[in-house]
Amino acid sequence: MFEVIAIIAVILAIAIAIVLVLALTKPSSFAVRRATSIKAPAEKIFSLINDFHQWVAWSPYENKDRAMKRTYSGAAEGKGAVYAWDGNNNVGSGRMEIIDAAVPSKIVIKLDFFKPIEGHNTAEFTMLPQGDVTNLTWVMHGPASFMYKVMQVFMNMDNMIGKDFEVGLANLKKLTEK
C-alpha cells in the first residue's frame, strides 16, 4: 500500500512541477483586444462609456450577478469618476476609475480587481470616426501575476475575456445604432 501512495505522490509532484514550469514560460504581461465598427457618432458611444452609471445598459459583467452591489463616487462622469462593485464569484469585487477622457476619442480606466484574484490593469476604449462609422476598440492590459500565468496553462484567457468584450461591444453597437 505504501508503494502505491509513493507512486501517486511522485506522479502528482511531477505534474505540479510541469504546470509550474509551463507557467514560468508565459509572458509577464497580457493584453486582450477586441474591436467593432458602429454606425453611430463617436460622441454617442463615448457618452455611454464615460459615465459608469450607463454601464448597466451595455456591460457584459452587469448581468452576471443581478444582486451585485455597486457604488459610484468621484466625478459624475469622465476623469475622476469611480465605480466599485462587490458580487458573486462570476464578477468578484473591484474598482474602476477613469484616469483620462479625451472627448470623443479615448477613455482610459484604472481597473483594480480584489476578488476572486487580485489584479491591477488598464482598460482603454478608443473611438475613431471614419465617415458615418466609428471604429471602437476595447483593450485591457497589465502585468501577468504568477497565478494568472498558472491559469493560462489550463485556459485561454484571451478567449475568455475576449468573449465578454465582444458581448459588450455588440451591446454598445445595438444601443447606439438605434
Note whether residue 20 is domain-resident.
Answer: no
pLDDT in tens, 80-120: 999 999 999 889 999 999 999 999 999 999 999 999 888 89
2-30 in b/e form (b: 16+ CB < 10 A) is eeeeeeeeeeeeeeeeeeeeebeebeeeb
The range of the structural domain enclosing residue 78 comes to 29-176
Burial class (CB in 10 A: 0-12, 13-18, 19+), 178: exposed
Say what the pTM is. Answer: 0.85
Note whether residue 156 is domain-resident.
Answer: yes
Note whether residue 7 is domain-resident.
Answer: no
Note whether residue 128 is domain-resident.
Answer: yes
Rounded (10°) CA dihedral 20, 22, 24, 28? -130
Note whether residue 6 is domain-resident.
Answer: no
Note whether residue 72 is domain-resident.
Answer: yes
